[in-house]
Chain A
């Protein structure tokens, strides 16, 4: 996950600033639009969707692929006749890896371009920059990558694995195959910290032992001090939630410091095909990844997806990876939900962004479309999915060593039972109230 997630450092400040800027922005626009009750989609017109990813800056490495795969999916849908006979028109915007731009541009997409949904974001910081805008306009965001949970909103549809799905199988697998003792290394921001909280729960259940937990700043590339402690404590495996540049530095220095991958592999949540390509397969071989999708998945649908994507004009990157596939799914999730909402409302002009979200629970993306196999949405608009565990091979591709037998339920509040249970209409707190739009 390239480099990507470094701009988080500034996120707190800019988020606040961005939020303030939006509050004052073109309020009359909204009033106008709502007063007229103008339809989001005109009959026989085009379905406009926002595509808000970073094409420049530190997040570009991963988000360029997200941008490309959304266009690829839309092209495919349009070629096959569009959605209910209407063509989908993407409004492409570069978020420039800048948290402020995410919140400004999603306002613009909603108010000026009047898109009916937006696909965007790759980092928790960008999601949290967009979410307040989306919620205050009662609009719709597809957030297509892994995230930590602990949010219960009624305007976001997620197609990546939640923290609880991510490590539930991985930790017991590692404990069983490599040993009980582990060391956690992560990037210093919210997603790794929340993921590690989840992982600790599974570690305890599997009878594992946590020897230490360290975080490096985003973009930090010096792991010598951490490796010194790892050498001292001798864990059986390293559990990594390091992202971006740092992830590549971690794997390179692992080898340069003389560690052996067969004695103490790194089990990661993020080191996929794209990271391996960036570091060189010699540094990735033998390490382990948990993800719902791998390029090497041996199914006819995935083979077709990989062939079509890589031979299309969007596939210059040369690999497919889990983040890309999750983004691909989000477009088909939108298509299915739009059709369901239109059928329910009786006409396409009556469809609102919120309506699309409200019909999303229960939607299935069958294994003739979904490269990772059948998935479906629960009532909170997260996916039921089968996480898989892959081991990187010498050619940079993963060998799938274990796949979940059953679909694992998403649960954004699994480790916060005291805060309540996330349901369709909001967070049901223990004192019997329902909290909406919980961030």
Chain B
């Protein structure tokens, strides 16, 4: 029994699956990061409460499913709307007053995250809740050498849809044009008649909504509990920073890159060691490219 279990040898089928898992991990990290990337990129607000928006999404889905009786698949878009509305309220009530003081935003949103965690714990209790998903999602499918879990496919699909929708909104609509204008130069955009305040509220709400969307799905692969958001925030920041602040494409490529690196390392060694390498590589990468993958075209802040 003195086998050295540290290294796993290459084998075709599991390695192909490891590559697939990399994509699946990437989709989880990307959907968790997307809202953060948009809010950070557009408004320059580092939203420390982003993880808690994920948590609120999971709770929204849970409450809708168990109290109101809404089917799971409808809870997912509903969580987007609910957390989006909460996000809008928070932008109006709190974040708005701190735009000129970026460091204070950091503190305020961090404080907000504590308030949200404790608030949910007080109202709904500390014990984890079980968000149920339909039976057909809790099964798997074999295609060639690939073992596809329906739930993973579902998350992947939703992430792609959310990404495409976001890209389309930003680059193919008038609203997106306004957002990008505000992103590059707020004052100049305001001079041209764009209501920057409204754009910020919408952007923040949209970012929060994306986090809620992510949360409603994460709740079903683990559990729903008050501090679940902290489990995603590190990877989300990693994706945003490596991708380049404000670049959607950057987030896409960095999540794929990081997910694959993680999964391949996890295949040959183990998950703990893979995280270690991932963080180390990111540090080295940022040493040589602090602006991230795709940040060249963006305005300097």
Residues of A within 8 A of B (CB): 2-3, 55-58, 60-61, 64, 188, 200, 203-204, 209-210, 212-217, 219-222, 224-226, 228-229, 231-232, 245, 248-249, 252-253, 255-258, 277-280, 317
Which of B14, B128, B137 has the most C-beta atoms of chain A within 10 angstroms of its own C-beta?
A: B128
Name A212's closest neighbour in chain B (CB-CB).
B5
CB <8 Å contact, B17 and A245: no
Given contacts A225-B21, A278-B223, contact A56 B128 (CB under 8 A): no
15 cross-chain CB contacts under 8 A:
A3-B128, A55-B126, A200-B1, A212-B5, A222-B25, A224-B263, A225-B271, A228-B267, A231-B14, A249-B221, A256-B151, A256-B152, A256-B221, A258-B140, A280-B132
Residues of chain B in range 94-110 having any CB-CB distance to chain A below 8 Å: none
Once the chains are docked, how many angstroms separate the CA of A214 from the CA of B150?
Answer: 24
CB <8 Å contact, A220 and B271: yes
B186 within 8 A of A: no
Residues of chain B in range 208-260 having any CB-CB distance to chain A below 8 Å: 218, 220-223, 225, 227-228, 230-231
Partner of B225, one of A64, A200, A245: A245
Contacts of B25 in A (CB 8 A): 222, 224
CB <8 Å contact, B267 and A245: no
Contacts of A248 in B (CB 8 A): 128, 222-223
Contacts of A221 in B (CB 8 A): 218, 221-222, 231
Once the chains are docked, how many angstroms separate the CA of A414 from the CA of B149?
Answer: 42
Chain B nearest Cβ from A360, distance in angstroms: 33
CB <8 Å contact, A222 and B8: no
Once the chains are docked, how many angstroms separate the CA of A228 from the CA of B16?
Answer: 10
Contacts of A278 in B (CB 8 A): 127-130, 223
Once the chains are docked, how many angstroms separate the CA of A217 from the CA of B275?
Answer: 10
Contacts of A209 in B (CB 8 A): 1
CB <8 Å contact, A56 and B221: no
B121 within 8 A of A: yes
Partner of A228, one of B5, B18, B274: B18
Contacts of A56 in B (CB 8 A): 118, 121, 126
Chain A nearest Cβ from B128, distance in angstroms: 5
Contacts of A215 in B (CB 8 A): 270-272
Contacts of B140 in A (CB 8 A): 256-258
Contacts of A214 in B (CB 8 A): 270-271
CB <8 Å contact, B271 and A245: no
B195 within 8 A of A: no
B185 within 8 A of A: no
Partner of B21, one of A55, A224, A280: A224
Once the chains are docked, how many angstroms separate the CA of A61 from the CA of B140?
Answer: 31
Partner of B5, one of A2, A213, A277: A213
Name A257's closest neighbour in chain B (CB-CB).
B149
Chain A nearest Cβ from B85, distance in angstroms: 27
Once the chains are docked, how many angstroms separate the CA of A277 from the CA of B129?
Answer: 9
**What are the 3 A-B residue pairs with the smallest beta carbon separation, nearest first?**
A258-B140, A225-B266, A249-B222
CB <8 Å contact, A279 and B130: yes
B139 within 8 A of A: yes
Once the chains are docked, how many angstroms separate the CA of A221 from the CA of B271?
Answer: 11
Name B270's closest neighbour in chain A (CB-CB).
A214
Given contacts A248-B223, A256-B150, A279-B223, contact A60 B126 (CB under 8 A): yes
B138 within 8 A of A: yes
Contacts of B220 in A (CB 8 A): 252
Partner of B267, one of A188, A229, A280: A229
Against A, the Cβ 8 Å flags (1 = close, 0 = not) of B11-23 are 1011001100100
Chain B nearest Cβ from A215, distance in angstroms: 6
Contacts of B150 in A (CB 8 A): 256
CB <8 Å contact, A280 and B127: no
B147 within 8 A of A: yes
Contacts of A216 in B (CB 8 A): 271-272
Contacts of A220 in B (CB 8 A): 231, 271
Once the chains are docked, how many angstroms separate the CA of A122 from the CA of B161?
Answer: 43
Once the chains are docked, how many angstroms separate the CA of A213 from the CA of B130?
Answer: 28
Contacts of B68 in A (CB 8 A): none
Contacts of A217 in B (CB 8 A): 271-272, 275
Once the chains are docked, how many angstroms separate the CA of A72 from the CA of B128?
Answer: 23
**Given A188-B272, A224-B263, A257-B147; 17 other pairs, CB 8 A cutoff:** A2-B128, A55-B126, A61-B126, A212-B8, A216-B271, A217-B272, A221-B221, A225-B267, A228-B14, A231-B14, A232-B11, A232-B14, A245-B223, A248-B128, A256-B139, A278-B223, A280-B132
Contacts of B118 in A (CB 8 A): 56
CB <8 Å contact, A258 and B139: yes
Name A279's closest neighbour in chain B (CB-CB).
B130
Name A188's closest neighbour in chain B (CB-CB).
B272
Chain B nearest Cβ from A200, distance in angstroms: 6
Contacts of B191 in A (CB 8 A): none
B24 within 8 A of A: yes
Once the chains are docked, how many angstroms separate the CA of A209 from the CA of B3?
Answer: 10
Contacts of A210 in B (CB 8 A): 1, 3, 5
Chain A nearest Cβ from B255, distance in angstroms: 14
CB <8 Å contact, A249 and B223: yes
Contacts of A55 in B (CB 8 A): 126
Chain B nearest Cβ from A413, distance in angstroms: 21
Chain A nearest Cβ from B287, distance in angstroms: 25
CB <8 Å contact, B222 and A245: yes
Once the chains are docked, how many angstroms separate the CA of A249 from the CA of B130?
Answer: 11
Chain B nearest Cβ from A235, distance in angstroms: 13
CB <8 Å contact, A256 and B128: no
Contacts of B274 in A (CB 8 A): 225
Contacts of B222 in A (CB 8 A): 221, 245, 248-249, 252
CB <8 Å contact, A225 and B263: yes
Chain A nearest Cβ from B137, distance in angstroms: 7
Once the chains are docked, how many angstroms separate the CA of A252 from the CA of B151?
Answer: 11
Contacts of B5 in A (CB 8 A): 210, 212-213
Contacts of B218 in A (CB 8 A): 221
Contacts of B149 in A (CB 8 A): 224, 253, 256-258
Contacts of A60 in B (CB 8 A): 121, 126
Once the chains are docked, how many angstroms separate the CA of A253 from the CA of B267?
Answer: 18
Contacts of B17 in A (CB 8 A): 228, 231
Which of A58, A204, A256, A280 has the most C-beta atoms of chain B within 10 angstroms of its own C-beta?
A: A256
Name A249's closest neighbour in chain B (CB-CB).
B222
Partner of A317, one of B1, B24, B127: B127
Chain B nearest Cβ from A94, distance in angstroms: 11
Once the chains are docked, how many angstroms separate the CA of A148 from the CA of B138?
Answer: 34
Once the chains are docked, how many angstroms separate the CA of A253 from the CA of B150?
Answer: 11
Chain A nearest Cβ from B113, distance in angstroms: 14
Contacts of A203 in B (CB 8 A): 1
Against A, the Cβ 8 Å flags (1 = close, 0 = not) of B28-57 are 100000000000000000000000000000
